[in-house]
Amino acid sequence: MAITLPFRRMPRIALLELLNPREHTPFIFATFLAGMLAATVAVQVKALPLWGAALSVMALMIVPALPKWLSDRRRYGTPAMVLCILVAAQGFHTVEHIAQWIQYHILRWPFWQSSGLVSPANAEWVHFIWNWLVLLTMIYLVSAGMRGPWAWVMLAWTIAHTFEHSYLMWRYMQTLSDLQALGATGVAAQGLPGILGRDGWLATSEATQNTFLCRLPGIATAVRLDVHFWWNIGEITLLIPAANAYMSRLTDPHPLTPSPTPGRGGITS
């Protein structure tokens, strides 16, 4: 007699349902291809810098993304739409840090040249504003119902990351003030060490000297590029399961607990 084994369904990845462009797929692909073609021509014919081409394509992709995000809002609610934007934005941001890592470690470019795909965005003010926006977005999402182990760890990680960039901004402004007091103008103060990494607060502070803290491998010895590479890898690694867990609860056809109300994360009709 034949034995029939129970059929196991593949686990549902609810986040993919949110990221799925659905009816907007042709518009998104057509815009991307048109943007890449135009950027290639601009680089070859008009000598547009590569960072300008990359920035132009990313800006152009907002056009087809807007109707997709509005569709998400109607289908799942405003928090889910915000979550989709955050995943996409942080995904692109992580690609930028991966590009910097490849430029520095694989291509062996000098540190000052390893600025990613959009080099003008590698500025202290941009990092500071970006991370505060990510933190405020996470606070909104948690208050709107995206709670759970992954979400809480992601929020804690984002707070720590933002604190690092706030410390960097304070050092940046302090250094600019010192340079101005010395009469030095037009001198850049980018690339200063923060709390972590080589020459950072943890490695050089009087409070940590003669302790294991100032010698921690990587945490107190890595160059700034590596420190922020791992900050962002950790952020996207935590965000994906946190977002998937939230969407799984939101789209569960047989929830054990009442679903959030529409507008606070619930599915709208």
Task: Please provide the distance, in angstroms rounded to a whole number, between the alpha carbons at the two ends of the chain.
Answer: 49
* Cα(121)–Cα(176) distance, integer angstroms: 19
pLDDT tens readout for residues 180-220? 888 777 666 778 899 999 999 999 999 999 899 999 999 99
| DSSP conformational letter for 266 | B
Q: Is the model's pTM score more than 0.95?
A: no
- Answer whether 137's CB lies under 8 Å from 158's CB: no
Alpha-carbon span 37 to 209, nearest angstrom? 55
Q: Whose CA is closest to 32, among 10, 59, 11, 5?
A: 59
Residue whose entry in the numeric block shows the structure tokens 């062996």: 108
The better pLDDT of the pair 247, 191 is held by 247
For residue 266, list its beta bridge partners: 262
Alpha carbons 199 and 194: distance in angstroms, whole number: 8
8 A C-beta contact, residue 195 and residue 164? yes
248: how many CB neighbours lie within 10 A of its CB?
17
At residue 268 the predicted structure's pLDDT band, cuts being 50, 70 and 90, is very low
Going by pLDDT thresholds of 50, 70 and 90, the confidence category of residue 266 is low
Q: Is the pLDDT of residue 149 over 80?
A: yes
Tell me the per-residue pLDDT of 75-116, one tens digit each, with 9 for 90 and over. 999 999 999 999 999 999 999 999 999 999 999 999 888 888
Nearest to 229 by CA among 190, 189, 196: 196
* Average pLDDT over every residue of 63-70: 96
Residue 178 clears pLDDT 90, i.e. is over it = no
pLDDT value of position 112: 83
Query: For residue 188, what are the CA distances in angstroms to 124, 180, 196, 225, 236?
Result: 11, 11, 21, 17, 30
In whole angstroms, what is the distance from residue 96 CA to residue 48 CA?
Answer: 19
